[in-house]
Amino acid sequence: MNRTIISVKNLVKNYGDFQAVKGISFDVQEGEIFGLLGPNGAGKSTTLEIIETLREKTSGEVIVDAFNLDKQPNEIKKIIGVQLQSSGYYPGLNLVELMQLFAGLYNKNIDPMTLLDSVNLRDKAKNKYKELSGGQKQRFSIATTLINTPKIIFLDEPTTGLDPQARRNLWDLIIEIRNRGTTVIITTHYMDEAEVLCDRVAIIDSGKIISLASPDQLIDDLLASGFERTKQVKLANLEDVFINLTGKHLREE
């Protein structure tokens, strides 16, 4: 494989006098899980929303699956899946009704139950969105990105605020979606998550990419520079203890 599906060159975004994205460049390969890592305010969401055609860029070039963002934004929209802000969901509709509503927006015929099944929400089909737990809401919102059978999906901090069980469950789902052939771009500020999920990561800080490689490569580079941890690391961490004590099964349903 190794075909470039997204190419970003010298992307700049100014909000008035403030430059939020300062000329970043990166490529995403077809079929990979690509992570944009960075602290709050780094410019991750701005970058994603520009590629998703939802925000105007100031300058730079963005190509998605050979379509130029400036000339063919509608072609790009057809092949991507984007998570809506949760405020966009009518709280009083049930999951099947919401799925049908979104399918209508995409002008697609879908079987809501198949999609709900694919994110393990068949049992909640008749429940209203507002009745879902945090993890279920995230799974539902990922299902909505799959309605138009996209080539690429964009996930902006999909696990923020979830408990360890729900987080791991979502990781499995994201890996499953990628294994079915979909390219995934994800933002996160959880490094353990990036290490588990991402084939490659770009570390972005104050609007600049300061490093880009596989997690393994970045760690090896750091060690090669002479870095040593001040405290000897044990072969398990507190999250392992927690999962071991409380189990991996979801608690929310």
Residue ranges binding Mg ion (CB under 5 A): 44-45
Decide whether 43 or 135 has the Cβ nearer to ligand ADP.
43
Residues numbered 65 to 104 that lie near ligand ADP (CB under 6 A) are: none
Q: How far is the CB of 158 from ligand ADP (least distance, A)?
A: 13
Query: Whole-angstrom Cα distance, residue 82 to residue 106?
Result: 12
Site size toward ligand ADP, by CB under 6 A: 11
Sequence-distant (6+) residues with CB within 8 A of 244 are none
Smallest distance, ligand ADP to C-beta of residue 71, A:
24
Which residue, 118 or 206, is less far from ligand ADP as judged by CB? 206
The conformation of residue 252, written as its DSSP 8-state character, comes to -
Nearest-approach distance from CB 156 to ligand ADP, in angstroms: 7
CB 120 within 8 A of CB 249: no
Q: Sketch the per residue contact string, 22 through 61, with ligand ADP: x for CB under 6 A, - otherwise.
A: ----------------x-xxxxxxx---------------
Contact flag: residue 141 with ligand ADP (CB under 6 A): no
Distance CA 161, CA 133 (A): 11
Query: Is 205:39 a contact under the CB 8 Å cutoff?
Result: yes
Return the number of the residue (159 or 169) whose C-beta is nearest ligand ADP: 159
**Shortest Å, Cβ 44 to ligand ADP:** 3
Q: Which does 104 bind (CB under 5 to 8 A by kind): ligand ADP, Mg ion, none?
A: none
CB of 56 to ligand ADP, least distance (A): 11
Q: Render the burial of 166-183: b for 16+ CB within 10 Å, e for the rest.
A: bbbbbbebbeebbeeebb
Strands (E), the chain: 4-15, 18-29, 33-37, 59-64, 67-68, 80-82, 152-156, 183-188, 200-205, 208-213
Residue whose CB is less far from Mg ion, 44 or 137? 44
Instruction: Report the C-alpha gap between 19 and 21 in whole angstroms.
Output: 6
* Residues of the shown chain interacting with ligand ADP in the complex, contacts defined by CB under 6 A: 15, 18, 20, 38, 40-46
